[in-house]
Structure 1
């Protein structure tokens, strides 16, 4: 069975991507800060992870890689937008957005690269 990893796959576009992959016969691993108990499928594995935290990203990847010999598809979908005026927004909002939207993509891709290269479906 082909294996896909979709970050941020419990709602919106990510959930739609997961559903499409599941319909096409993939085993799908996804993560979110809040899991969706109503999003069930025998080939869907939801893992709780705060992708703004590098260690959580690495733990998410390690959990998957401990179960799968190769990954066929990686979709870096996770994202967050915390609107606000620069002088009024909560301190740390910028870092959360950069770490979630940019750094998590780098760290997850880096963690999955060797496994992606092993895929028979490049």
Structure 2
């Protein structure tokens, strides 16, 4: 039976080595701040070095490393370097993503492929890379950032590549969980609702779009900064030790109807 001491430490990520992709802005930056504040050794990666440098200045001890998640060789080198530097990798937050809202009939095929490459292929590749040391250690947690648009369509906006990639991330999460969980590595996803970010900025600056979103959300508002922190810490900590292959919607009830 779990003792009081264990219960108090359920959400403890202190000292855990956790890689966060897309950490230079938006949700990724928020995740990096939250995990750093919780005591984790955060390895924050993104393409924009100047923003990573600012993040590192705000979070002393955070390890900031430039990375293009579509560069498979660079991803492999990063995971190897992190494992050598710290001797372990405890968690990965696959957050990097892109979207290009457009009617499907007008979306450029090369752009569709790019979205799939960033939002899906990189998730598979990085997950597989970190799984090797995690499986050897028989412990680890991968958290994939999906979207409520992976649970339904982007109507009336229109963003087929984004919706397809995020739906695929959700089923990829299930499949990797099925393959690795018996060996100690859990894989879960978070499906955020509407949170302000560079990619979603238009939804917040357009009064009409913002009103449409809030009316479709049972809580009648969009997400506030920090309201995803609990979900990501939960899935990276021992509090979720029997949770794998799950997708946690953090969306104010949007996906409930």
Q: Structure 2 length normalisation: TM-score?
A: 0.43
Choose 15-24 or 67-76, whichever is displaced more.
67-76
Looking at structure 2, the residues matched to 22 and 38 of structure 1 have their Cα atoms a distance apart, in angstroms, of: 14
1:4–1:29 contact (8 Å) kept in structure 2: yes
1:33 aligns with 2:51: no
Choose 90-99 or 102-111, whichever is displaced more.
90-99
**Other-structure match for 1:3:** 17
**Other-structure match for 1:112:** 130
Identify unmatched segments of 5+ residues in structure 2: 1-14, 141-237, 242-257
Spell out, residue by residue over 1:18-42, the C-alpha distance to the aligned partner (whole angstroms, 9 max, x if none).
Answer: 1111011111002111121321222
Looking at structure 2, the residues matched to 116 and 67 of structure 1 have their Cα atoms a distance apart, in angstroms, of: 15
Looking at structure 1, the residues matched to 103 and 81 of structure 2 have their Cα atoms a distance apart, in angstroms, of: 38
1:73 aligns with 2:91: yes
Q: Return the offset for 1:89.
A: 4.9
Q: Return the offset for 1:86.
A: 5.1
If asked which structure has higher relative contact order (CA below 8 Å, sep 6+), I would say: 1
Runs ≥4 residues deviating over 6 A: none
1:26–1:43 contact (8 Å) kept in structure 2: no
Choose 45-54 or 111-120, whichever is displaced more.
111-120
Spell out, residue by residue over 1:37-63, the C-alpha distance to the aligned partner (whole angstroms, 9 max, x if none).
Answer: 321222211111111222222222222
Identify unmatched segments of 5+ residues in structure 1: none
Structure having the larger proportion of residues in helix: 2
1:4–1:27 contact (8 Å) kept in structure 2: yes
Going from structure 1 to structure 2, the CA distance change for 1:44 and 1:83 (only over 3 Å counts) comes to: same
Q: Structure 1 length normalisation: TM-score?
A: 0.84
